[in-house]
Amino acid sequence: MVILMASLSLPQGLAAGTVTVDHRLFPGLAEMDGNWAALAVGSDGKVYAGLACHGCDGHMVMYDPAADRVSDLGNLTRLAGEDNLQAGPQSKIHAKFGEGTDGRIYFGTHAGLWFDYARVGTREGYPGAHWMAYDPKTGAVQDFGIGPRFEGINTGAYDPKFNRIYGLTHPRGHFVYYDVATGKAVDKGRMNNFESICRTLGIDDEGNVYGNIGAGQIYKYDPRTDEITELPLHVPVRQKGISLGRDYEKSETHWRTVVWDRETRKFYGVDESASLLFSFDPHAGPYGEVKPLGQLCAAGMEDRRDIPYATLALALGLDRKLYYAVPQKEFDYGGSAGAGVSHLLSYDLRSGAKEDLGEMRLADGRRVIGLNSADTGRDGTIYFVGAIEARQEPGRPLESAGTIGGVPYRLALVIYHPKRSGR
Amino acid sequence: MTQRALVFIVLLAWCSVFARAQRGPEYDAVVVPQNRIDARDLGYPPADVIPNGDSAITALTVAPNGNVYGATSGKAAYLFVLNPRHGYVQPLGTIPDTAAVSNALAVAGSGEVYIGTSPGGHLLVYTPQREDRQPIRIKEACAVKDLGVAVKGESIAALAIDREAQMIYGLTSPNAHFFKYDIAGSAFTDAGVVANSKPYGEKFETRKMFSAMLVLDRAENVYASGENGFLYKFNQAKQALEKLALQAPAIPGREPWTRVESFITDAAGLIYGGTSDGYLFRFDPAKLRVQNLGKPLLAPQITALALAPDGKIYGVGGSEQDMARLFSYDPAEGAYQLLGFVDVNRRPYYSWQAYVIKTMASGLDGTIYIGESERISRLYLFYPVTTK
């Protein structure tokens, strides 16, 4: 494995270049402090994102590339009808969106603060996640109500085939879903411990849902039988070495994210601990097949214990390349280890070639510090959401969400055009 | 406070906010001390374990020889044993035609294990035979003998045993029959019901309210709670079921939805109970007196109780949608100690927290066994600090 990793990475010490990316800020929402997974490009080309705010209300936003306009689609606590509840706010969309055959964008909400779970089930605690849908035709968000009581949708995905929103709850790690047609909310029970909830649910073209349990074991939920099966398949997960603290803070036993490739009918994903790349073919053999594809990391980070934690910023481009944004330093917005600069990596599914496209910087040279969601536009544009350096404009106060390693940051939609970049 | 100081505090708060998004060392302060707790998988992982989905532990009991027997609920129910000298859980196989065993395990003086089943309502008996020498049984059925159905059309919802008299007592669901089974005579007797009708309520409130457990006093009378939280006594002398003029503690007006979730008897013959509203109470069967000992947790339901060798009562509270916490009550001091979440952190080997707990049992050596009751469940071993 080590040999394979090295062969897929640039030689240590070889500096990558710089990739200049475009960006859009979210006007009036400078206090939004995080984004995880919540980014999707609709069939109409519009880009939807969920912005998180710890201790306050999250927002759903939309970017219309045709009009080059960012819109705030709403305050999540208000959309949930809980604005005056004096209870834990709807602070996040913490999971992937999905588009239905009706064109609506489906998702579940999440809490921000957990207080070491001291408030679970209390009056001032979080009431529970809401299942929701945004309708681009009307511009309205429909609230389907609370799904899991006192818990948020930590991980989620929507399946247009069965018209269901799936989720893994936080803190108790239950596999839940909301059946949109029948209005039925279902809890299939616990899958994970609170600190090791699988961060992405993958859905194949038959509507089967996949996640991780235990030490990288894949499970499958089949909507036809309504049953969860734990498959004899594991994703590559690095054995833990000397702890540098992360294994206490974060799970290192699951895939971090997967994307579905319609062409090969396979998932591609990276593990949490070391961004080990793999493919998962759910249709091969009786249970499916996992193939390790090496390590997808920035130059010089291969096989290092202190490689930054994997991000959720993985997308499959129209050019058959996986695009993956990795931070230079352990990145989790205000909880980051410091302010580095994100690298953009690519992996060509046709050739297996990996490339470190370089440091992601804005046109004015500011750093893209870290990204945690990605999706591909209909024209091949790769969209990300994450943290960029905030800069004070002349005559105006600094607008930031906080600091990362002492550097003020704010959230932005980061836009990469593979064609324009000549890639 | 200066604006600069305020900004610094806010920034500091943000850092800790993100740090708390995952498990951090500060979480150690809200869970039980890690030198006092451990967990066991239900079998030999990865293959020979009671499957996820069938592993919710819903009954625990301790045999006269110290072995701990447990039963699970799910699509299928399993029986298991833990020999404290071995220290691991040995699955004994599936319980035939059974999906749930709810506080319905009892071990006779002979060592035979009696199992009350749901939904069938059968009373089964399992005879241990050199279990230590037997292989783990996962897919095979446990070798049990069917003693018959206690009350036709009813599931068995709780069991207790009088080892001296060789008499088993039970409650049935959904209609709250109190029955006894004479081991020597192999005969069931239906002694009546402890709840006639379900309380008024919302459309989802469909069950009659009666206790989740039974308990015996030193005179071998048997107690349950029934409709409106009233205590019922099976009078050993009269061989009759009596409704006592005593109710489990409840906020006035909430009696119709009150039931006793857990019972234990201490060495002096005093009975302790935990209610659906989360009150701990003491019931003196000799004086027919109930004392409300208050509410240790900000949570409904005390789902399980166990007695430590020093006389302290250990309990667990929290609903199905909650995150269970452990507490203790010292009768000598009249004081509670709140011990935190039931969590085992043995990284990098295993780490797991029990969110739903429905049963506990006290081992002969003072170890308290805690049964997690979720899709993926483990058996926890808690080692209390004894003060006497």
Q: What are phi and psi of A253, to 5 degrees?
A: -125, 5
Which residues of chain B have a CB within 8 Å of the CB of A248? 23-25, 347
The reply to whether B81 falls in a domain is yes
CA–CA separation, A231 and A235 (whole Å): 11
Residue % of chain B over a pLDDT of 90: 87
CATH value at residue A207: 2.130.10.10
The reply to whether A423 falls in a domain is no
Low-confidence ranges of chain A (pLDDT < 50): 1-15
The reply to whether B16 falls in a domain is no
Which residues of chain B have a CB within 8 Å of the CB of A54? 14, 17-18
pLDDT, tens only, B295-342: 999 999 999 999 999 999 999 999 999 999 999 999 999 999 999 999
The reply to whether A373 falls in a domain is yes
CA–CA separation, A375 and A141 (whole Å): 22
Question: Cβ of B341 and A117 within 8 Å?
Answer: yes
- Within an 8 Å CB–CB cutoff, is residue A291 touching chain B? no
Of A113, A190, A248, the CB nearest to B376: A190
**Predicted local confidence at residue B130, as pLDDT:** 87
The reply to whether B209 falls in a domain is yes
**Residue A28 in contact with residue A13, Cβ under 8 Å?**
no
Q: Using CA of residue A385, residue A389, residue A394, residue A397, what is the dihedral sign?
A: positive
Question: Cβ of B21 and A332 within 8 Å?
Answer: yes
**Predicted local confidence at residue B8, as pLDDT:** 41
Residues 130-159 of B with CB under 8 A from A: none
Interface test with B, best of A194, A217, A407 (most B CBs within 10 A): A194
The reply to whether B12 falls in a domain is no
CA distance B75 to chain A (A): 11
Question: Cβ of B374 and A333 within 8 Å?
Answer: no
CB atoms near residue A67 (< 10 Å): 9
ipTM: 0.92
CA distance A217 to chain B (A): 11
For A128, the closest chain B residue by CA position comes to B321
Which residues of chain A have a CB within 8 Å of the CB of B53? 189, 228
The reply to whether A422 falls in a domain is no
The reply to whether A421 falls in a domain is no
The helix or strand, by DSSP H or E, that contains position B173, with its residue range, turns out to be strand B167-173
- Within an 8 Å CB–CB cutoff, is residue B319 touching chain A? yes
For B354, the closest chain A residue by CA position comes to A193
CA–CA separation, A287 and A94 (whole Å): 29
Query: Which range marks the domain in which residue A28 is found?
Result: 2-416
Which residues of chain B have a CB within 8 Å of the CB of A403? 11, 14
- Within an 8 Å CB–CB cutoff, is residue B295 touching chain A? no
**Predicted local confidence at residue B87, as pLDDT:** 86
CATH value at residue B73: 2.130.10.10
CA–CA separation, B101 and B152 (whole Å): 17
**Residue B207 in contact with residue B199, Cβ under 8 Å?**
no
Of B21, B26, B321, the CB nearest to A121: B321
The reply to whether B313 falls in a domain is yes
CA–CA separation, A265 and A393 (whole Å): 47
pLDDT, tens only, B178-188: 999 999 999 99
- Within an 8 Å CB–CB cutoff, is residue B299 touching chain A? yes
Those residues whose C-beta lies under 8 Å from the C-beta of residue A404, and which sit 6 or more positions away, are A331, A333, A334, A336, A338, A339, A369, A370, A387
**Residue B36 in contact with residue B383, Cβ under 8 Å?**
yes
The reply to whether B23 falls in a domain is no
Question: Cβ of B25 and A55 within 8 Å?
Answer: no
List strands edge to edge, sheet with A152-159: A152-159, A164-170, A174-179, A184-190
Question: Cβ of A335 and B319 within 8 Å?
Answer: no
Interface test with B, best of A92, A113, A120 (most B CBs within 10 A): A120
Of B18, B29, B348, the CB nearest to A334: B18
Residues 7-66 of B with CB under 8 A from A: 11, 14-15, 17-27, 29-30, 46, 52-53
Domains identified in chain A, total number: 1
The reply to whether A316 falls in a domain is yes
Residues 164-203 of B with CB under 8 A from A: none
**Predicted local confidence at residue B25, as pLDDT:** 81
**Predicted local confidence at residue A238, as pLDDT:** 84
Query: Which range marks the domain in which residue B208 is found?
Result: 35-382
- Within an 8 Å CB–CB cutoff, is residue B350 touching chain A? no
Residue % of chain B over a pLDDT of 70: 94
The reply to whether A219 falls in a domain is yes
Question: Cβ of B353 and A193 within 8 Å?
Answer: yes
The reply to whether B257 falls in a domain is yes
**Predicted local confidence at residue B387, as pLDDT:** 64
Low-confidence ranges of chain B (pLDDT < 50): 1-2, 4-17, 19-21
Domains identified in chain B, total number: 1
CA distance B306 to chain A (A): 24
CA–CA separation, B176 and B304 (whole Å): 20
